[in-house]
Chains A and B, each alone.
Chain A
Amino acid sequence: MADPTITLEIFRYRAEQETEPSYQRYDVPYRDDWVVLDAINYIKDRLDGTLSYRWSCRMGVCGSCGMMVNGVPRLSCAAFLKEYYPDPIRVEPLANFPVERDLVIVMDDFMEKLGSVKPWVIRDDTPPLSQGERRQTPAQLDAFKQYSMCINCMLCYAACPVYGLEPRFLGPAAIALAQRYNLDSRDRGRSERQAVLTSEEGIWECTLVGECTVVCPAHVDPAGAIQRAKVSATVDYYKDALLPWGKR
Chain B
Amino acid sequence: MPGNWWLINRAYFIFMIRELTSVFIAIYLVLLLILINRIAAGPDAYRAYLAFLATPVMRAFHIVALAAALFHSITWFTLAPKGLAVRLGERRIPDAVIIGSNFAAWIVVSVLLAWIIL
Contacts and interface: CB of A to CB of B under 8 A. Distances in A.
Nearest to B80: A227
Interface stretch (A120-128, A168-176, A207-215): A207-215
A164 B19 CA distance: 18
Nearest to A230: B83
A139 interface: yes
B95 to A, nearest CB: 10
Contact of A164 (B1, B15, B85): B1
A230 B15 CA distance: 19
Interface string A91-109: 0000010000000000000
B1 A208 contact: no
B44 interface: no
B11 interface: yes
Contacts of B9: 71, 211
Contact of B19 (A71, A207, A210, A231): A207
A239 interface: no
Contacts of A223: 82
A161 interface: yes
B5 A208 contact: no
A210 B9 CA distance: 13
Nearest to B1: A164
Interface residues of B, number: 17
A231 B82 CA distance: 10
A97 B84 CA distance: 31
Given A161-B5, A164-B5, A165-B1, A208 B79 contact: yes
A211 B19 CA distance: 15
Q: Which size bracket describes the interface of A in this complex?
A: 20 to 34
Contact of B12 (A211, A213, A228, A230): A211
Contacts of B6: 161
A208 B82 contact: yes
A228 B79 contact: no
Given A161-B12, A207-B19, A211-B12, A227 B82 contact: yes
Interface string B76-106: 0001011111000010100000000000000
A70 to B, nearest CB: 12
B5 A210 contact: no
Contacts of A139: 90
Interface in B1-59: 1, 5-6, 8-9, 11-12, 15, 19
25 contacts: A71-B9, A96-B1, A138-B90, A139-B90, A161-B5, A164-B1, A208-B15, A210-B11, A210-B79, A211-B9, A213-B82, A214-B11, A221-B82, A223-B82, A224-B81, A224-B82, A224-B83, A224-B85, A227-B79, A227-B82, A227-B83, A228-B83, A228-B84, A230-B83, A231-B83
Interface of A: 71, 96, 138-139, 142, 161, 164-165, 207-211, 213-214, 221, 223-224, 227-228, 230-231
Given A227-B79, A228-B82, 19 more contacts: A96-B1, A138-B90, A161-B1, A161-B5, A164-B5, A207-B15, A208-B79, A208-B82, A209-B15, A211-B9, A211-B11, A211-B12, A213-B82, A221-B82, A224-B81, A224-B85, A227-B82, A228-B84, A231-B83
